[in-house]
Amino acid sequence: MTALQRILRPAFWRLDDWTSRVFGAAWNPLYNLGALGFFFYWIVAISGIYVYVFFDTGVTEAYDSVAYMTEDQWYLAGVMRSLHRYAGDAMVVVMVLHLIREFAYDRLRGARWFSWLTGVPIILLVLASGITGYWLVWDQLAQYVAIATTEWLDWLPIFGEPVARNFLAPDALDDRFFTWLVFLHIAVPLLLLLALWLHLQRVSRPRINPPRGLAAASFTALLVLSLVVPATSHAPADLAKVPTVLDLDWFYLGFYPLLDLWSHGTVWVTAAILTLTLAAMPWLPPFRRPAVAQVDLDNCNGCARCAEDCPFNAISMEHRTDGKPFDREAVVKDSLCVSCGICAGSCPTATPFRRAAALVPGIELPDATLAALRDRLDRMADADGQQVYLLACEHGVRPETLQRPGVAVAALPCVGALPPSFIDYLLSRCGAAGVYLAGCAEGNCHFRLGDTWTEARLDRQRDPGLRKRVPRERVRCDGFEPHQSARLRRSVATFLDNVRELPPQEIPSARQLGARFGRAHGDGGVGSS
Amino acid sequence: MIRALRYVGQAAVLAAFVAVVGFFSSNPSFRHFPEGEALLKVSFSHGGDRKVECRKRTREELAELAANMRSALDCPRERVELRFEIDLDGVPLYQALLPPTGLAGDGPSRVYERFALPAGRHVLDLRLRDSRRSEGFDHVAREAVEFAAGESVAVDFRGGEGFIIR
Give the pLDDT of residue A527: 31
Q: Are residues B134 and B159 in the same domain?
A: yes
Is B21 part of the contact surface with chain A (CB cutoff 8 Å)? yes
Shared-domain flag, residues A412 and A514: yes
d(CA A170, CA B56): 46
- Residue A238's domain spans which residues? 2-22+29-283
Shared-domain flag, residues A215 and A361: no
Q: What is the pLDDT of residue A115?
A: 95
- Check CB contact under 8 Å for B29 and A225: no
Of A144, A162, A224, the CB nearest to B110: A162
Is A67 part of a structural domain of the chain?
Answer: yes
pLDDT value at residue B1: 58
Same structural domain for residues A505 and A464?
Answer: yes
Nearest to A93 among B20, B31, B41 (CB): B20
Q: Which residues on neighbouring strands pair with residue B128, listed in sequence order?
A: B84, B139
Residue B51 CA to residue B106 CA, distance in Å, equals 9
Considering only CB atoms, B22 lies closest to which of A172, A225, A257, namely: A225
ipTM of the complex: 0.89
Query: Is B59 inside any structural domain?
Result: no
Which residues of chain B neighbour A29 with C-beta distances below 8 Å?
A: 13, 17
Query: Per the CB < 8 Å rule, is A221 touching B18?
Result: yes
- Same structural domain, B16 and B45: no
Same domain, A252 and A300: no
Other beta carbons within 10 angstroms of residue A510's beta carbon come to 9
SS3 call for A190: helix
Q: Is residue A403 domain-shared with residue A456, that is, in the same domain?
A: yes
For residue A19, the SS3 value is helix
**Is residue B135 scored above 50 in pLDDT?**
yes
Q: Are residues A329 and A187 in the same domain?
A: no
Clarify whether residues B8 and B45 are in a common domain: no
Q: Which residue of A has its CA nearest to B28?
A: A247
Residues B26 and B43 in one domain: no
H or E segment to which residue A280 belongs: helix A264-280
Domain with residue B91: its CATH number is 2.60.40
Q: Do A249 and B101 touch (CB under 8 A)?
A: no
> Distance, in angstroms, between B47 CA and closest chain A CA?
12
Q: Are A68 and A54 in contact (CB under 8 A)?
A: yes
B69 occurs within a structural domain: no
Instruction: List phi, psi (to 5°) of A219.
Output: -65, -45
- Between CA A43 and CA A52, with CA A47 as vertex, the angle to 5 degrees is 145
In a domain, B56, yes or no: no
Stretches in chain A below the pLDDT threshold 50:
507, 509-511, 513, 517-529
Q: Which residues pair with A246 in a beta bridge?
A: B30
Nearest residue of B to residue A218, measured between CA atoms: B14
Judge if B138 and B93 occupy the same domain: yes
DSSP annotation of A71: I
Strand intervals (E) in chain B: 30-31, 37-46, 55-56, 73-74, 82-88, 91-98, 109-118, 120-129, 139-147, 152-158, 162-165
Q: How far apart are CA A104 and CA A450, in angstroms?
A: 20
Q: Kindly list the residues from chain B whose CB atom is less than 8 angstroms away from the CB atom of residue A89.
A: 21, 24-25
Query: Does B135 lie in the same domain as B118?
Result: yes
pTM (predicted TM-score): 0.84
Do residues A33 and A313 lie in contact, with contact meaning Cβ atoms separated by under 8 Å? no
pLDDT of B110 > 80? The answer is yes
pLDDT band at B82 (very low <50, low <70, confident <90, very high): very high
CA distance A377 to A382: 10
Q: Give domain status of residue B66, yes or no.
A: no
In the predicted model, is pLDDT for residue B127 greater than 60?
yes
User: Cβ–Cβ of B43/A160 closer than 8 Å?
Assistant: no
User: Cβ(A400)–Cβ(A437) under 8 Å?
Assistant: no
* Residue B4 contacts A, CB cutoff 8 Å: no
Pair B43, B25 in one domain? no
Total domains present in chain A: 2
CATH of the domain at A109: 1.20.810.10
Domain that holds residue B148: 37-50+79-165
- Disruptive mutation site among A15, A18, A22 for chain B (greatest number of B CBs within 10 Å): A22
Instruction: Name the residue facing A243 among B33, B45, B114 (closest C-beta).
Output: B33
Please check whether residues A83 and A213 belong to one and the same domain.
yes
A232 lies in the same domain as A364: no
pLDDT of residue B30: 95
Of B22, B24, B152, the CB nearest to A242: B152
Same domain, B46 and B11: no
- Nearest CA of chain A to the CA of B43: how many Å? 7
Question: Can you name the residues that pair with A236 across neighbouring β-strands?
Answer: A139
- Report how far residue A386's alpha carbon sits from residue A379's, in angstroms, rounded to the nearest whole number: 15
Closest by CA to A249, choosing from A137, A141, A132, is A141
Helices and strands: H and E segment counts in chain A: 18, 9
Q: Which chain A positions have a beta carbon within 8 Å of B157's beta carbon?
A: none
Q: Cα separation of B111 and A429, whole Å?
A: 85
Domain check: are A153 and A199 in the same one? yes
B15 contacts A247? CB cut-off 8 A? no
pLDDT of residue A515: 53
3-state SS, one letter per residue, for A196-224: HHHHCCCCCCCCCCCCHHHHHHHHHHHHH
Look at B10 and A217 and tell me if their CB atoms are within 8 Å: yes
By the CB < 8 Å criterion, does B118 face chain A?
A: no
Q: How far is CA A122 from its chain centroid?
A: 15
Q: Which residue of A has its CA nearest to B112?
A: A162
d(CA A9, CA A15): 10
**Is the CB of residue B33 less than 8 Å from the CB of residue A242?**
yes
Q: How many domains does chain B have?
A: 2
**Is residue B97 in some structural domain?**
yes
Count Cα atoms within 13 angstroms, Cβ side, for A394: 11
Say yes or no to pLDDT of B71 above 50: yes
Q: Which of B20, B26, B33 sits opposite A242 (nearest CB)?
A: B33
- A37's enclosing H/E stretch is helix A33-54
Last residue of a domain, one of A283, A307, A328: A283
First-to-final CA distance of chain A: 49
Q: What is the pLDDT of residue A375?
A: 93
Residue A516 located in a structural domain:
yes
Cβ-contact B21, A93 below 8 angstroms: yes
Beta-carbon contacts of residue A139 (< 8 Å; ≥ 6 apart): A63, A66, A233, A234, A235, A236, A237
Chain A CA closest to residue B2 = A22
Q: What is the 3-state secondary structure (H, E, C) of A307-357?
A: HHHCCCCCEEEEECCCCCCCCEEEEECHHHCCCCCHHHHHCCCCCCCCCCC
Whole-number pLDDT of residue A159: 83
**Residues of B whose CB is below 8 A from A168:** 41, 43, 154, 156, 166
Q: With an 8 Å Cβ cutoff, is B158 touching chain A? A: no
Q: Considering A239, A260, A283, which residue would you say is the last residue of a domain?
A: A283
* Residues A300 and A374 grouped into a single domain: yes
Is B116 domain-assigned?
yes
B152 contacts in chain A (CB < 8 Å): 169, 239-242
- Minimal Cβ distance to B25: which of A23, A89, A240: A89
Closest to A293 (Cα-Cα) out of A361, A355, A359, A352: A361
